[in-house]
């Protein structure tokens, strides 16, 4: 099955010895570009999903159906394995079950379930966490819901940046014992934090938006970090390019005066025009 090949590729990354940068992807064109450039993995973040689908900031307005449908479009467009940020699973443990089922059917190679309280509580000035018990319940629901055992389930915690390093480790150890395939930590800023996490756990590690102290990929690899997410610059770059182009057109620029446009060759490549033409003749 094609989906299993993608999931096997993600598992090989997690079981390897190197730390890689995934491509931030959010639609059919971006995933094809990442695939053509030779990225081994795509990351479909919740923030970029909200931007690409709704044009809204990352405040948990997007629905599971919208996320899964966008993943389905990307799965059709390219064979690049994609790890999906499934946020909090869109509700309680029962909602998490459906989240796993929908994203599995949409072709995701893996997905993350986090323990952040979403949407943010009324009047809360800072992000909050659900209890360890509820977080563990969601992880168990996710693991029980998958039909394809090759689908990668990642337990994610933001405790390091919200409560404490000790809480982050306790949550990660519980998720590890439940049977997740990898652990995702956000809010890790210092090497001593990562050293403690690596010493207390056994599974492959994913970290989000590394600080300057955590950009040595050899060091990260030695601490079992297999994926280091570098933010989501691609959608920001695309937004800037569209803004500049439309602003120039609004100011009266002629088509030949526009700068920064994709060449005809690049457009043909990302739309697979040659393949479509070939199919039209057979």
Q: What is the pLDDT of residues 209-224, one digit of tens each?
A: 778 899 999 999 999 9
Average confidence (pLDDT) over 153-181: 98
Q: Give the residue among 107, 104, 174, 166 at the shortest CA–CA distance from 139.
A: 174
pLDDT at 204 over 90: yes
| CA-closest candidate to residue 45, choices 10, 82, 90 | 82
pLDDT of residue 1: 57
CA distance 37 to 39: 6
Residue 223 to residue 281: CA distance in whole angstroms: 53
Beta pairing partners, 183: 155, 205
Q: Write the pLDDT tens digit of every residue in 11-60.
A: 999 999 999 999 999 999 999 999 999 999 999 999 999 999 999 999 99
- Please work out, in degrees rounded to the nearest 5, the angle formed at the alpha carbon of residue 30 by the alpha carbons of 25 and 31: 70
For 182-202, b/e burial (b = at least 16 CB within 10 A) is bbbbbbbeeeebbebbeeebe
CA angle 227, 13, 98 (to 5 degrees): 80
User: Model pTM?
Assistant: 0.96
**pLDDT of 282 above 80:** no
Say yes or no to pLDDT of 121 above 60. Answer: yes
Give the span between the Cα atoms of 246 and 252, in whole angstroms.
10
Evaluate the CA torsion angle 25, 28, 30, 36 in order and state its sign.
Answer: positive
Pairing state between β 182-185 and 205-208:
parallel
- Superfamily holding 2-232: Phosphoenolpyruvate-binding domains (3.20.20.60)
At CA 191, angle to CA 188 and CA 197, rounded to 5?
A: 65
pLDDT at 268 over 60: yes
Q: What is the pLDDT of residue 143?
A: 98
Indicate if the pLDDT at residue 172 is higher than 70. yes
Residue ranges of the chain that CATH labels 3.20.20.60: 2-232
Residue 83 · residue 44 · CB < 8 Å: yes
């Amino acid at each position: 099955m094609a989906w299993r090949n993608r999931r096997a590729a993600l598992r090989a990354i997690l079981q390897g010895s190197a730390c890689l940068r995934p491509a931030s992807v959010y639609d059919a064109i971006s995933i094809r570009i990442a695939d053509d450039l030779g990225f081994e993995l795509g990351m479909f973040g919740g923030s970029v999903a909200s931007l690409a689908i709704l044009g809204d900031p990352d405040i948990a307005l997007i629905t599971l159906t919208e996320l899964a449908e966008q993943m389905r479009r990307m799965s059709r467009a390219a064979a690049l394995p994609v790890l999906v940020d499934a946020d909090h699973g869109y509700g309680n443990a029962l909602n998490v079950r459906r989240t796993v089922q929908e994203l599995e059917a949409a072709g995701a190679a893996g997905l993350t379930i986090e323990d952040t309280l979403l949407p943010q509580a009324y009047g809360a000035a800072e992000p909050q966490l659900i209890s360890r018990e509820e977080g563990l319940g969601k992880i168990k629901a996710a693991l029980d819901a998958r039909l394809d055992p090759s689908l990668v389930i990642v337990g994610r915690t933001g405790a390091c940046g919200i409560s404490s390093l000790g809480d982050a480790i306790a949550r990660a150890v519980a998720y590890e014992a439940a049977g997740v395939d990898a652990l995702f930590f956000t809010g890790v800023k210092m090497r001593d934090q990562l050293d403690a996490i690596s010493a207390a756990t056994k599974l492959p590690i994913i970290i989000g938006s590394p600080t300057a102290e955590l950009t040595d990929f050899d060091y990260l690899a030695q601490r079992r970090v297999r994926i280091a997410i570098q933010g989501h610059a691609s959608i920001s770059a695309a937004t800037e390019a569209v803004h500049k182009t439309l602003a120039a057109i609004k100011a009266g620029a002629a088509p030949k005066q526009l700068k920064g446009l994709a060449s005809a060759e690049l457009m043909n490549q990302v739309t697979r025009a040659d393949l479509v033409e070939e199919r039209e003749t057979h």
